Amino acid sequence: MIERADAEPEYDDTAIRFLEALWGEGYLSPGGPEEVDRVVAGLSLAGKRILDIGCGAGGIALHLAEKHGAAHVTGFDVEAPVLTVARKRAEQRGLSDRVSFVQAPPGLLPFADASFDVVFSKDALLHVPDKQALFAEIFRVLKPGGVFAASNWMIGHDGEPSAEMQAYVAAEGLSFAMRSPAHYRKAMEAAGFRDITVVDRNPWYRDVARGELERLKGPLYAPVAAVVGADYVAGNIRTWEAMQKVLDSGEHRPTHLRGWKPDEGR
């Protein structure tokens, strides 16, 4: 395991506390376990070895072990604070033998070829600029016959982002490298994935985000401000307002992806 000395983590302790208050313990993306179940719907994960790329605070890795019966889940992330939280939760839940966490810098995945039956990811791949290199790596670490299943925040097109989209990404202040569903599909095809499916989740999140904004302005405001400060919550309310515009226009496109690594033996 390579531990990197993180200069400035994007998901620091304050961000983790804020996002967990909104999305649930261990979750740094929307939808909770129900949305994870939709990403893996129809897949049999029992007894499988799973890699969770961009695992964040670990709620999903624990869910895949506890509810879906994975033999082992490896949560991988580039930042230290999220993994500190994830490891603590795995210990508290008595799952440290079936769920482990690995930190390494962005780039090549620190795993041997054909290590995993399933590669999962939730709303993390948008941080990786080179999608072709990313999918070549995901393909490499999957066993033949293995499956990639993910949710990810995308942009609806590959042209110049609208002024609203640029304002939203600036408000997030995170290293977003958003690409279109078509761009992702091409990168997956180039890596060798087959039977690729792409599912638009914009209509779902458009409504959910509206509810999140209402809760942030209403019942969540005081308790979350008590934890992270009123300025931090106010800044995020502005971010959510900017996000709602590009969700409503369809330019912000949360999307599910799935694809299979062919099993040459069959």
Nearer to ligand SAM by C-beta: 78 or 246?
A: 78
Nearer to ligand SAM by C-beta: 12 or 262?
A: 12
Question: Taking the complex as a whole, how short is the minimal distance between the CB of residue 80 and ligand SAM, in angstroms?
Answer: 9
Residue nearest to ligand SAM (CB): 56
HSE (side-chain half, CA atoms, 13 Å) at 88: 10
Nearer to ligand SAM by C-beta: 77 or 212?
A: 77
Residues 2 and 113: beta-carbon distance below 8 Å:
no
What are the φ and ψ backbone dihedral angles of 264, each rounded to 5 degrees?
Answer: -60, -25
Question: Taking the complex as a whole, how short is the minimal distance between the CB of residue 6 and ligand SAM, in angstroms?
Answer: 9
Question: Taking the complex as a whole, how short is the minimal distance between the CB of residue 120 and ligand SAM, in angstroms?
Answer: 9
DSSP E strands, the chain: 49-53, 72-77, 99-103, 116-122, 142-155, 194-200, 252-260
Footprint of ligand SAM (CB under 6 A): 11, 27-29, 53-56, 59-60, 77-79, 82, 106, 122-124, 127-128
Angle at 171 between CA 254 and CA 106, to 5 degrees: 65
Question: Taking the complex as a whole, how short is the minimal distance between the CB of residue 33 and ligand SAM, in angstroms?
Answer: 11
Nearer to ligand SAM by C-beta: 89 or 261?
A: 89
Supply the DSSP symbol for 186: H
